[in-house]
Each structure stands twice: as C-alpha cells, then as structure tokens.
A and B are shown apart, each in its own frame.
Chain A
Amino acid sequence: MGLSLEVAGITKAYHGQPVLQGCSFRFEPGRTYAVVGSNGSGKSTFFRIAALLEPPDAGSIRYTDNGAVLPHDLHLRRRLTLLLPKIGVFNTTVFNNVAYGLKIRGRSTQEIEDRVNDLLITVGLVHKRRQNALNLSSGETKRLGIARALVIEPEVFFLDEPTANIDPKNTEIIEKIILNMKTAEKSTIILVTHDPGQAQGLADHVLVMDNGRIVPL
C-alpha cells in the first residue's frame, strides 16, 4: 500500500471567477491517472491544490496511509511532488539540479552520487551531468525535471503537461519513463495532458476536467 489521495468538494476562484466548482475524486495508490480538458478548465489549479501548493477555498484534500489520515505537513509534502509545466531549473549543473531533493533531505554524498547517476542514465542526461542545466534544450529540461522529481521517490507524482512543447523524440523518452513508473506501481501518477491518445496510452484511468469538475471518462 501507499498514499491514497481523496479530494472532496474542492472549489477555487480567482478574483471572483470560479475555476474549480466542487472537484471530488479518489486516487488509489500505484495507479496512473490522466486528466484531460480544455485550456482554462482548471487542471493546473487542481494540481496545485492537490499537491498542497495552495489551499482551496472550500473542500478537503485527504492523504491517507493504511487508513490513517495524514496531516498536511512537511513530512507529507516530501512524499509527493509536482512537475510544473515550467520546470524552474536551478542555475547550477545538471547533477546538482537532480541532487537537490536529496541534499535538502540530508542524504549522504555516496547515496546522492549513486542515485543521481542512476537517474541521469534513466533520463539520458548522464553525459551532461557537469553542464550548467540552463544550457539544456527544452526536451532535456523536461527530462531533467522528471529526474529531479524521481530522485526523491515520490509516492504521488503529479505531472502537469510533461510533454508540452517538446519534440517527438523527447516525448517518446518521457512517455517511456512514465510507462516504466506505471509498471513499477511504486507511485501514484497523475498527469495532465492535452493529447487524448497519450492519456489512453499511459494511464489506467482517464479523467476529464469539465467546468471545474472532475469526471471519469
């Protein structure tokens, strides 16, 4: 078992404009979900709220582990992560970018070295480990973001448009990484995509964000 996420009645408005209007859904551990919907339908807002980046106006977000409801504290936040559409690359080497999550958790140098190198091999960036990450292409930057998130072994992994604005080759690499994660069933994967084909191909469940609500397809 792992983390379960249940959202109930989530509402959110910006400047009086409703974005989410009662989102409710239960995400089971180890499953992969794809959320599709038109631009402005509230997908990214939902992700930010579900990943505890910002609070909802109303409703509840319940993370449970073996039935126990977990408080929204740092300990919980460190068990999940969100890949933002804009990665937010740190102005340092590729290696240091990926190592960030382990360094802030105080992991040993040897563990950091081993895990980061493993992940850089997985995402095909090991040959660029000493380069400044700001010099990567957009596709490589997405892969870097995925490696940086995976290094902390998130139990719930939100990916907000992981293949937006990148070439088919990089899209293929990222889809392969997501499929491997899905097969491993160690994380609950929740991704946003505009591509219905990609959603069907990657996810166990496809959800539609419509009028600020989540509806199973």
Chain B
Amino acid sequence: MHSILYGFIGAFKLILGANPELLRIIFLSLQVSGSALIFATLLGLPLGVTLAWRRVPLRGLIMSLLNTGMGLPPVVVGLFLYLILSRSGPLGVLGLLYTPSAMVMVQTILALPIVASLSHAAIVKVDPVIRQAAITLGATPFQEVTTVVREARYGIMAGVMAGLGRVMAEVGAIIIVGGNIAGYTRVMTTTIALETDKGEFELAIALGIILLLIAWGINIGLRFFQRQGSVRSGVILWD
C-alpha cells in the first residue's frame, strides 16, 4: 500500500516539477504518434475518398482488408515490420530498425485502416443531394469531391481521433520495432511497461496519468466531432 502511495506522490512531484525526462518521453510519444497520424491521414483519407467515390476494382476486398486492419493485433504488425526492417529483411539496408522512424511506420500501419475506413463511412453517409447540389451550382469534379469531403469533415475528424487513440495507447508493436532505447525510442507506453517491470512506479504512474489525460482529451474530441456530425435541427445530413 505504501509503495502505491509513494508512487503517486512521486508521480505528482514529477509532473508538477516538469521533470525533464518525463517531458522528453511525452514529447517523443506525441512526435511519433502525431507523425504517424499525419501519414495515416495523408494516405487513409484519399483512400477512403476513392473507395467511396469510384467503382474501384477489388473494392470489396480492399474494404474487407481495411476492416480487418482496424482490429489487427499490434504485436503481429510489429513482428512483420520487424522482419521487413531487420538486417536480413527486404528493407534491412535502410537501417530503420530501432529508430523512431520504424515506430512511426508501425503506428501508421495501425492507424491507416481506421482513418481510411471511418473516412469512407463518413463520405458514403453524406446525402447524395449534396453532390448534386454542387454539380448544379457549377462545381468541377474536384470541387464536387472537396464539397462532399467538407460535409463529411466531422466524421473524418472522428476517424482521425480514433486513429490517434489507437496509436497513443499502443505498446506491443513499437516495443518490437523501436526497442525501447532510453533517450531515443522510449515512449510513454514502453516506459510504463519497463518501469513497472523494474518496480519503480513514480515515472510509470506519472506517464499513466498523462496518458489517461490524453485519452480523455481524445475521447472529448471524438464525442465533439461525432456530435457535430449528427443531426442538427430538422435537416438530416447524417444517420
């Protein structure tokens, strides 16, 4: 009981004292997950839009893969990326294993299906009359797409927030490809795992509190976007 109490006291001291080690780990986590999310959005949004907009060959298969990808076990993704990036792997020559870049790659792979699938769902839910209205007002094909994407913005943002939630809480995959190297690839979740193993709880609890606050913030953001995208007044744009 004492160790828990002292753990929390120590954790609050680290947080309130803005411990440099704590801040560095938080910063690296945000940097890795933020970068992964940007890449996942840059790839996933156009993919979701294309699947919603056009009759793409193998569309059913791609959607099925994306939906499966939403529930991929992170350690399996980590394992496969490890095999690809390891010295004997096809991309081993790049020397990316145990670097933040590898962590960004694995988190991008984890977030991509979520962003793509939820963007697709948000776009197909937009009332077709929106697209027709854009056409009747003289929109070019590209302007039609941007108009519909803009209407789906809250659903798309909800997908991005869900992707962020997935990668921020992830530990299995990044520990495999990142290696949990102090001062280089050690992020919040991997530090919590390591410090708990060592029985040193102050830093683990401090990071746990920060992670919970971030998760709470993501949840608030998610709810905000879902609420904005839901029914407003009597005219329904979203189911």
Residues of A within 8 A of B (CB): 51, 53, 74, 77-78, 81-84, 86-92, 100-101, 104-105, 132, 134-136, 138, 141, 148-149, 152
The distance in angstroms between the C-alpha atoms of A135 and B236, with both chains bound, is 10
Residues of B within 8 A of A (CB): 127, 129-130, 132-140, 143, 147, 150-151, 232-235, 237
A77 touches B138 (CB 8 A): yes
CB contacts (< 8 Å) of A77 on chain B: these are: 135, 138
Given A53-B135, A81-B136, also A86-B129 (CB < 8 A): yes
CB contacts (< 8 Å) of B233 on chain A: these are: 132, 134-136
B137 touches A100 (CB 8 A): yes
Given contacts A81-B138, A104-B134, 5 further A-B contacts (CB under 8 A): A77-B135, A77-B138, A91-B151, A134-B233, A136-B235
Given A90-B147, A132-B232, also A84-B138 (CB < 8 A): no
Report the minimum CB–CB distance from A102 to chain B (whole Å).
9
Find the A residue at minimum CB distance from B237: A91
Report the minimum CB–CB distance from A44 to chain B (whole Å).
12
Find the A residue at minimum CB distance from B143: A104
CB contacts (< 8 Å) of B150 on chain A: these are: 90, 92
How many A-B contacts at CB < 8 Å in the complex?
A: 67
B235 touches A134 (CB 8 A): yes
CB contacts (< 8 Å) of A92 on chain B: these are: 150
Given A86-B129, A88-B132, also A78-B138 (CB < 8 A): yes
Q: Which 6 A-B pairs have the closest CB atoms?
A: A88-B133, A88-B129, A78-B138, A101-B137, A135-B233, A82-B136
Find the A residue at minimum CB distance from B144: A104
Given A101-B138, A105-B138, A141-B235, also A87-B133 (CB < 8 A): yes
Find the B residue at minimum CB distance from A92: B150
B151 partner, pick from A90, A136, A138, A152, beta carbons under 8 A = A90
A104 partner, pick from B130, B140, B235, beta carbons under 8 A = B140
Given A104-B137, A141-B235, also A90-B132 (CB < 8 A): no
Find the B residue at minimum CB distance from A100: B137
B133 touches A53 (CB 8 A): no
The distance in angstroms between the C-alpha atoms of A40 and B95, with both chains bound, is 67
